[in-house]
Structure 1
């Protein structure tokens, strides 16, 4: 029988999520250790008329793991990971680090994001950009199968239609209690770390875009505008090379020519060590607010808008982080999964630290005229309805039809879905 708690240390731990700005107070927490527990929790919520939410890693910035007065399906005790024949079976509450550690012991790698404490399946269901995306695709592209508890309490193995929706459509269709994800033979990567003066930002961004435009799948990079150790802003460039190490050394050394490096380093690491680079950098309990946009490249107007937005920041720890979407991730046909953006692009994160959310909203507005439609679903907030309407591109109608069939009462509310989309829909297959 599932354990239900309404107060005490276990309750407090469940509601203590990453973003300290979230103050939602659920009525009850269901501490689940099995699929049967999840089924029972969903039935309890239905019978008591309680809104339902699901807690995995607890890293969603908007706090959708918690609903005021609701029931939390807490999966944090379901963190088991096993690997067999190139496939990892991952519990619903496993973090990216849990999966990466299991893979690392075998000289393997998992397609994860950039922070180990993030729930792997929550990341995967919404897309999952990471340092291996160019070579192995998004985390969602590596999702091979899933066990899902639906809104009626039934547990199913995801068939083609539901699996299609789970690859980018978010946790809007049920509770994924376990999943099978691909693992890849990769014991070492090359990791670069370069810092440039802020007054060279325009030059660095221009050269960076040109360098990546001709880069191979094995090269995936992040560029950021951050505050340096001396309190002054700088441009940080962090490329990862997942191919032949000797070849990669020459490629990564070339990043130093983007400007006048304040620091430059290229190191061999395991994929697990790469994932752990930012352990402790984003502590739990701090107030965070995020917004996101996608841009096709670093045109002069895009760069000017990014610098204008950054210079208007209102809290010192605030930064802009930009991910590279290319290679294998772009070669997945747009209709093969729910993820709605397969063109080459850069995903921009406006990360406001310690503020009230006004800066991140304003920064997003500043970049909007030069952005692609939609945005990264995992980072869209509940009020980002305009971006959500176009985030899934030509997949929106099919996604909503699956939602209406599997969860007509809207029991599950995770990353935002478009509303009011109509049109001819594909016939459903089994779920």
Structure 2
């Protein structure tokens, strides 16, 4: 049995008000509250959850949960809870709220800011990774990764709408929008969300079939409303998948960027092309072109010839491929454990000024590890009515992922500075807002514009379901509740 059903309530959660997404001091208790100790939080969690579910600092499961993709993340949660059901999640949330403890949710642990582990109580959903496919629908657990879904979908002759990395948690990706290599043919990951099971801040478990407004907000509004313990996602027909990487020499990079802009202006929906400006150890700046064709195989070669016309490749791995293998290729390009700093801008097009700026930035950068990824938004994603989801922008555009990585034993100062310099230089060329999954809370202006005309509606849903700001997820502007 679930603890509850139907709509969540706005009843008093006996926690102090938090303004926006900045946590109140955990010791700033509501009048009449008795201060609690770290031991009492863990004790209560253990009293109310099954044995072996709750882990303190120093225990193996606690340490494992903090092993996230960005090696620069330092987190000190008071407890890690590894639930295996929505009921256990609900009980853990209830205890955390009683103790005025912040909550974060770890799916794949791939968020660059480490938001998965920045709560005092971390809900590690790695024990909830089940995937079941029926027809064109997949039901996935809250801890499932893109690779989990892609593997099961492939066994049924279907494709999953995911991001580029297999290790990324599906829930976090989907709730924040979900740009990926099938975007032109199938839209954002958020566009494929059909239903969800959610644990709210008052410990009630709800299904979105009973609440279309909650489902609307989950489609791109971020992990701010509750813990998604299960999702139903619509898959994409697996008519054919051709993809891989073209490595182009840096000479003539500005010309490649110009031709890339022309390609995006007249690109078949079945073809999504990602472009990465990067610095390769020993050889210096380079260009990686990542085309993915997800349509009729008979038409793939004609479309891919246009991609190959961008420049003469020194390496070409583009070929028919299954989706799990494609995601694995992407994972190998960006190994876990390095330190990372990321910023984002959104541009209308890759014009000459932007091409010159980006090429110059790579040439002047601190060396291997830096890069700018270009993620186009086109095709099916543009045809979803803006009012159908919390996604803030539906017109064609290009998201820039400005990133820099460094060895785990480095301090990352030059790389961080480079990211900030490129981000600032792009401001005159940028549209308002940014992709929420790449945004940090301190990008105040971008956060305020990230959801476009959908912002106030999204904030109203936030006020209804999480009035005390228990959940953070992707950033929202500061707001009163």
TM-score (norm 2): 0.85
Q: 1:373 to 1:254 in 2, by over 3 A?
A: same
| Secondary structure of the structure 2 residue equivalent to 1:13 | helix
How far apart in 1 are the matches of 2:480 and 2:438? 21
Normalising by structure 1, we get a TM-score of: 0.94
Q: Distance in 1 between matches of 2:250 and 2:109?
A: 33
Matched, 1:381 2:440: yes
- Give the equivalent residue in structure 2 for 1:364: 423
Q: Tell me which of 201, 204, 228 is aligned to 1:151.
A: 201
Residue of structure 1 aligned with 2:353, choices 287, 301, 325: 301
Partner residue of 1:344? Answer: 396
* 2:105 alignment partner, one of 27, 31, 54: 54
Name the residue aligned to 2:383: 331
What secondary structure does 2:362 align onto?
Answer: helix
RMSD of aligned Cα (Å) = 1.6
Larger Rg: 2
2:147 paired residue number: 97
Aligned twin of 1:220: 272
Q: Which runs of 5+ in 2 are unaligned?
A: 1-48, 407-411
Which structure 1 residue ranges, 5 or more long, are not aligned? 423-431
Q: CA deviation at 1:194?
A: 2.1
Deviation at 1:237, TM superposition (A): 1.1
Q: Are 1:280 and 2:348 matched, yes or no?
A: no
Structure 2 counterpart SS, 1:76: helix
Q: Is 1:141 aligned to residue 191 of structure 2? A: yes
1:250 alignment partner, SS class: helix
Q: More deviation in 377-386 or 161-170?
A: 377-386
**How do 1:99-118 residues align onto structure 2 when only pairs under 5 Å count?**
99-118=149-168
Contact 2:239 2:297 in 1 (8 A): no
- SS of the equivalent of 2:260 reads helix
| C-alpha separation in 2, matches of 1:71 and 1:265 | 43
Alpha-carbon separation, structure 1, partners of 2:67 and 2:374: 28
Residue 438 (structure 2) pairs with residue 415 (structure 1): no
- The answer on whether the counterparts of 2:146 and 2:167 sit within 8 Å (CA) in structure 1 is yes
The reply to whether residue 64 of structure 1 matches residue 123 of structure 2 is no
Deviates more, 1:163-172 or 1:246-255: 246-255
Specify which of 11, 21, 25 is matched with residue 76 of structure 2.
25
Contact 2:175-2:219 at 8 Å conserved across structures:
yes
1:14 maps to 65
Q: How many residues align?
A: 421
By how many angstroms is 1:257 displaced? 2.1
Q: Aligned partners of 2:468 and 2:362: how far apart in 1?
A: 41
- Whole-Å Cα distance in 2 between the matches of residues 179 and 131 of structure 1? 21
Aligned residue for 2:245, secondary structure, equals: strand
Pair 1:420–1:96, CA change in 2 (3 A): same
Distance in 2, matches of 1:255 and 1:399, equals: 39
2:17 matched residue in structure 1: none
Which deviations, in whole Å up to 9, do the C-alpha atoms of 1:55-107 show, x marking residues without a partner?
Answer: 11111101111226x00111111000001121100000000000000101111
* Matched ranges for 1:80-229 at <5 A: 80-158=130-208, 159-186=211-238, 188-228=240-280
Do the aligned partners of 2:278 and 2:368 also contact (CA within 8 Å) in 1?
Answer: no
Deviation at 1:315, TM superposition (A): 4.1
Distance 1:369 1:272 in 2: 39
Shift of 1:297: 0.8
Secondary structure of the structure 2 residue equivalent to 1:217: coil
Contact 2:139/2:231, CA 8 A, preserved across alignment: yes
Question: Does 2:366 match 1:314?
Answer: yes
2:94 equivalent to 1:43: yes
Asked if 1:5 corresponds to 2:55, the answer is yes
CA contact (8 A) 2:245 2:289 kept: yes
Alignment partners' CA distance in 2, 1:283 and 1:260 = 27
Deviation at residue 185 of structure 1 after TM alignment: 1.9
The 3 A distance-change label for structure 1 pair 261 and 85 is closer
Please tell me whether the aligned partners of residues 341 and 419 of structure 2 are also in contact (alpha carbons under 8 angstroms): yes
In the other structure, the counterpart of 2:294 is 242
Closer, same or farther: CA 246–412 of 1 in aligned 2, 3 Å: same
Query: Which secondary structure does the structure 2 equivalent of 1:49 belong to?
Result: coil
The answer as to whether partners of 1:289 and 1:360 remain within 8 angstroms in 2 is yes
The answer as to whether partners of 2:441 and 2:447 remain within 8 angstroms in 1 is: no
Structure 1 residue 265: Cα displacement: 4.4
Q: Give the conservation status (yes or no) of the 8 Å contact 1:15–1:66.
A: yes
Structure 1 residue 260: deviation in Å? 3.2
